Chains A and B, each alone.
Chain A
């Protein structure tokens, strides 16, 4: 990411640490740093979330719009991801500096959400073949402290979970044109089903081992990183907390490799497996946090914490 300089001996220290499963801050290779999440931070967005993972700060807003469905998918809605790298994160993002990174992240998210096993676009349909919802998911990267993709995917899922679509009161077909009437009542809305929405996990290969949630320094030490996207689990978002027996396995939706290195087929396979497992843990933690927050704010949010510390 940012061109961080490290001395060869510092790199060696990190490398040995990963080998011995004891990283610079005492974490093992599979530990995440503590995260902080808040949903509904932007009052004029349909749904929003802010996630802070150590120094990585992500704000996601979801905007809804009515659009025409594609001809080949009349019963489906649309999702569009847009990533903006704020120049606050690093001065390199100024102007068009962050464009490449932004495009790669938005493409990755688009791919991860493409499968119907990951996100059911049918729920965005209003009138088959005529009208559908289009969700604009705007991702703002406010600070980079390593592990952007994981943080972005978590924040996006939280924002979608928080998204409220206004209820459609009536939809009349008037000579080929659809006449929609939306409810004025802000409480009369419908939530999305995002239980299966995918999460991304970055696995950084440092030495011979893979590391989850790399810090900026650790990212600098690795020649290749693998980003695995896998679907979430329904049981994690079950309000009643009933353990559903039909526990669905996470399905891999996207794999992206970053960096100049290469991987042997066997290592790749192991890494994907490790990534999917990590997604399950992440998804469980995210589900618990989101359910906790929903229980706190049964109807509407009382107090927004936002960026003040």
Chain B
């Protein structure tokens, strides 16, 4: 009846996922490491002063602006900037606002006044709207949004006042390190393979089937129904492949943008079955070939 696929590898057979990029590696600082004598420099983020020395408080690389020294950590939570595209999950419905998890240190806020009401009306939000909030977005829902404002404590205020933002439908959410996301003008991509990807600056990546053709005409109730339609098998496989490709790039610590994802997808096509991309060797192979193509492209 079944031939289950089980693979157990030993630690000694572990694949080293790192891909040589050719770039000169910057100097890494570890917490507590002395950066310089205190007198001539200013203390920035990720540093502290002790015994007349400036020391790193996080593991990362140094950034120097004139006399200001900062250590940028290798792994951290998302630090938002105005205009960033993020993918987030609704944690709580509160008075006139939603609490959103965006992988930052503090939960972000989505005000009722910064969403588009259904029907596209522009008006003051009434008490009725407040009572309807849970119908708009409920706990657990995923949204794409833009950072509207950064508060002094670092928490973010989001807005979805554009048709491209809003509630996300069927698809896969993948969480990666925010530092691996390349900042681009556009973070919404319709890949040539017929899948759309939202690469949130906060490290949440949303993979969903391409739905642009539905929104053109049709009655509204049919659009609503289309959300509940099962995704077809080919799209599902392509989405799984893209998911695994992104996972492969992430294990090899490669930067993510539409180019690298498309390249990885194309290189992965030589592996016929999608699940074989879970294998560490295949993952390394895909990442390596992608790195190679990116390098070729930048040289031209």
Which residues of chain A have a CB within 8 Å of any CB of chain B? Answer: 5-10, 12-13, 16-17, 19-20, 22-28, 30-38, 50, 154, 212, 274, 277-278, 281-282, 284-286, 288-289, 292-293, 296, 303, 305-306, 309
Contact = CB atoms under 8 A, between A and B. Distances in A.
Interface string B227-241: 110110100110111
B14 A305 contact: yes
Nearest to B9: A36
Contacts of A33: 278
Interface string B1-18: 111111111111010000
Contacts of A303: 12
Contact of B231 (A5, A13, A282): A13
A246 B141 CA distance: 55
Interface in B9-57: 9-12, 14
B72 interface: no
Interface string B207-245: 000000000000000000001101101001101110110
Given A7-B140, A24-B172, A212 B10 contact: no
B2 A285 contact: no
B154 interface: no
- Judged by DSSP, the binding face of A is mixed
Contacts of A12: 170, 228, 230
B11 A31 contact: no
Contacts, number: 136
Contact of B10 (A7, A282, A292, A306): A292
B299 interface: no
A80 B241 CA distance: 43
Contacts of A281: 3-4, 6
16 contacts: A7-B89, A9-B169, A13-B231, A17-B236, A19-B230, A20-B236, A25-B243, A26-B278, A28-B5, A30-B5, A35-B8, A36-B10, A274-B2, A285-B6, A285-B7, A288-B8
A288 B9 CA distance: 9
Contacts of A24: 172, 239-240, 243
A12 B172 CA distance: 11
B170 A282 contact: no
A22 B233 contact: yes
Nearest to A6: B140
